[in-house]
Chain A
Amino acid sequence: MTYKKMGISVLSCVFCILLCVCLLTALFDPYFHYHAPFEGQNYTLDNERYQNDGITRHFEYNAIITGTSMTENFKTTECDAAFGVNSIKIPYFGASFKEINDSVAKAIERNPDVKLVIRCLDTYRFLEAKDEMKYEEYPEYLYDDNPFNDVNYLLNKDIFIGDVYPAAVGTLKKVKPTTFDEYANWDSYAVYGKETVLAGYKRAEFIAKPQPLTEEERETVIGTVSQNIVSVAAANPDIEFYLFLPPYSIVHWYSLYEKGELQKSLEAQRLAVEMMLDYSNIYVFSFLTDFETVCNLDNYKDTVHYSGDINSKILQSMKNKDFLVTKENCEEYFAKTEDFYINYNYESIFE
């Protein structure tokens, strides 16, 4: 063999192998960047930041369930039955309002069929800066439309070994893909109950003085609600937005009380809800007043995360328009909420 033959052989081999890898990745497309899964294709839904974008690009749907880990236990089959839609679930654990808003806006832009968006609004995020993102290394090459940076996807050892290969093997063995009901769903292996919730909670040594919402914080709330919640609804008046404040456990409210932030949090939520009520296509559901759920720690695995049964209950409530906050009943709702959480006997939690 000559050096010339070796040189040409190396270049040819490398080119051929890389081309095969690209073609296989594009064929099984575990992140749905190029196409929806083909008939009989196996795929595993298990990586939110990598797969949600592709799901909104290529799956067929006319409704979206989205939000933080508060939405991971939703079942799209239940949503479809309740509302007569064909829904997808795209949760983003630990996400900021901006991350979720941008995802919803992009999905709507890509899919003109969307008619319903169900989204949770984690109440502590009302006080976070509007442009805050919680993570740093997002796979932007999947989110944009630049084909050149797709090389990060097509020639990626972690993806090829961890996702393409299993998809190929699963397809040959006719393994069923993950359903949206199962996607990110941790209900079956979580441990619920008072003992678990309180074991994970460390009480402070003293109760801080209650603080009201400052002027600067008011501006923050207005900023984030405008940019990250209502703007997409305003831009899409034909789409219904079912936004809900999730039923955090009473221990969460205790933690706010302990830090002196209870009043601040309630004021922030009031401001946010008032802003949302200005839009006829936004339906605000607040499960803060579902006191029965909130005070029963058997529903929770920690201070905020509730079981799949509660997710099911939330869907049914939304269908029946229970816990709906409207312009007509909002004052009554605010009064009821403030009265309950400010005057609650928090010590009774620890008895």
Chain B
Amino acid sequence: MDYWLHILVLVGIYAALANSLDLMAGHTGLLSVAHAAFFGVGAYAAAISSTYATLGFLGSTFTACAVVGLLALVVGSFLVRFLGDLFVLVTFALQVVVSDVFRNWTDVTNGAIGIRGIPDAKIAGWVFTSAAAYALLAALLALGAYLVVNQISASPLGRVLRAVREDAQFVESLGKNPFAQRLIVFVIGAVVAGASGSLYAHYVSYIDPTSFTLSDSILILSMVIVGGPGSRSGPMIGAAVLVSLPEILRFVGVSGATAAHTRHVFYGALLVGMMLWRPRGLVGQFLFGAARDD
């Protein structure tokens, strides 16, 4: 039973990550492969606040969000000026640089050794230790992310975002500022990722740079793609599918490092397959990155 709760926690965390990436990518057309970087920054910020500054869960999550938000604001105001394809490349560079920082800034992050002994989440005297407790937190996080994304999507801002996604120049001609819209979305998406990082850090109680690499960014992207970019429930479905399917591999007897690599071969094949046969994703309507008749 605990095992399924564990899966639920992961699904919750990754659903939040997928939703926040979808806000950037599916709704606004900002395809980012740096999401795991923000996830990681949030995790490290929370871990440091919790372990060394002994802040409670809410305090460290707030710190994580603040740090990630500031980073996203500063970096984003430069990155978001790149359009479509070039944007992907610069987020690549961002992810690599952040990964390097995790590994090399040993004074703060402990480098490859990582941070261990992160205390369990504490909220107003309540200590969360069991898987069920974390599952509850994860569900709340996922719900929160879902609400944020869908409220934005349904709002006038959401309409502008979709317009920016389709034709930024036109939007500009209507008097809106695509840059500002993109930056807002970039920061919000990053902050949600940072919050997820905080929950993750408290749940697993040990983090190191290997959890926040480019491969992890690609994994989160896969969840968005598989589920359906720009759709309401797509990212959550994608997260559920991609988190739970490999566990089935475990039951088939594949284990250890082989399992991890087999999983990634599968993810890769899934990405190629989805692009070839169902680019909209399982439930999506938006034909992601479809060629336009310009």
Is chain B found bound to chain A in the same assembly? Answer: no
**B residues near A, CB below 8 A?**
none
